[in-house]
A and B are shown apart, each in its own frame.
Chain A
Amino acid sequence: EPEVTQTPSHQVTQMGQEVILRCVPISNHLYFYWYRQILGQKVEFLVSFYNNEISEKSEIFDDQFSVERPDGSNFTLKIRSTKLEDSAMYFCASSRVGNPVDEQYFGPGTRLTVT
């Protein structure tokens, strides 16, 4: 069964550094998402992406965040200057359609630790 993959599985970085989290969505999916989950808490929507542009973003997704689809397969989340409170599990997800929203397939996540 096709699946969403994410790299790295764990990223440790120092406060103020830039990080790039990578995702490979399922190949025939058109909508891509980033979520984050602080340890033990709920899943929070960050951003959705379709047709090479952001469809929606949450209040969390401020100027320090950006997303990109640099080629036909990768979908990246960049955090420019990490803060301690950015420590969380970041999940990428994809779906075949987005309007109406279809089943979202989540990747295994990247655990980001900011020290």
Chain B
Amino acid sequence: GQQVMQIPQYQHVQEGEDFTTYCNSSTTLSNIQWYKQRPGGHPVFLIQLVKSGEVKKQKRLTFQFGEAKKNSSLHITATQTTDVGTYFCAGLGNYGQNFVFGPGTRLSVLP
């Protein structure tokens, strides 16, 4: 079945440094969503990407969907302590109606 992988598993950065997490799917995706989960919290929707090669920006966050629609990335510029949490990608396959979540990248930001 469809598998979604993310790297790195953990990332520790100094406040102000950039951060990138990468998401890879074993199959071509229809679309991909990104979520953020604060420690002890629930997943919160960040963005959905649908088109091949699509790039979307939200303030310091940049999301990209690969040309082949099998990978995606989330880049945070100049991290802040409020960025701490686990970032999950969730991919929807071409024939499925449910999202498969990646294992997440846990981001720690040192002040």
* CB-based contact A42/B42 at 8 Å: no
Q: Does A25 contact B (CB under 8 A)?
A: no
Q: Which residues of B contact A102 (CB under 8 A)?
A: 48
B-side residues, CB < 8 A to A, are 30-31, 33, 35, 41-45, 48, 50, 88, 90, 92, 96-104
Q: A43-B88, A48-B97, A56-B96 are in contact. Are A103 and B45 (CB under 8 A)?
A: yes
In the complex the two chains form, what is the Cα distance from A108 to B88 in whole Å? Answer: 17
Q: Which residues of B contact A45 (CB under 8 A)?
A: 98-101
- By Cβ-Cβ distance, the 8 closest A-B pairs, closest first, are A43-B101, A106-B42, A42-B103, A103-B45, A45-B98, A106-B43, A56-B98, A56-B97
A-B contacts, 28 listed (Cβ < 8 Å): A35-B101, A41-B103, A42-B88, A42-B102, A42-B104, A43-B35, A43-B43, A43-B90, A44-B101, A45-B99, A45-B100, A48-B97, A48-B98, A56-B96, A91-B43, A100-B31, A101-B31, A101-B92, A103-B33, A103-B45, A103-B48, A104-B33, A104-B45, A105-B45, A106-B35, A106-B44, A108-B42, A109-B42
A-side residues, CB < 8 A to B, are 33, 35, 41-45, 48, 55-56, 58, 91, 98-109
Q: A100-B30, A100-B31, A103-B48 are in contact. Are A42 and B97 (CB under 8 A)?
A: no
In the complex the two chains form, what is the Cα distance from A42 to B106 in whole Å? Answer: 11
In the complex the two chains form, what is the Cα distance from A3 to B108 in whole Å? Answer: 27
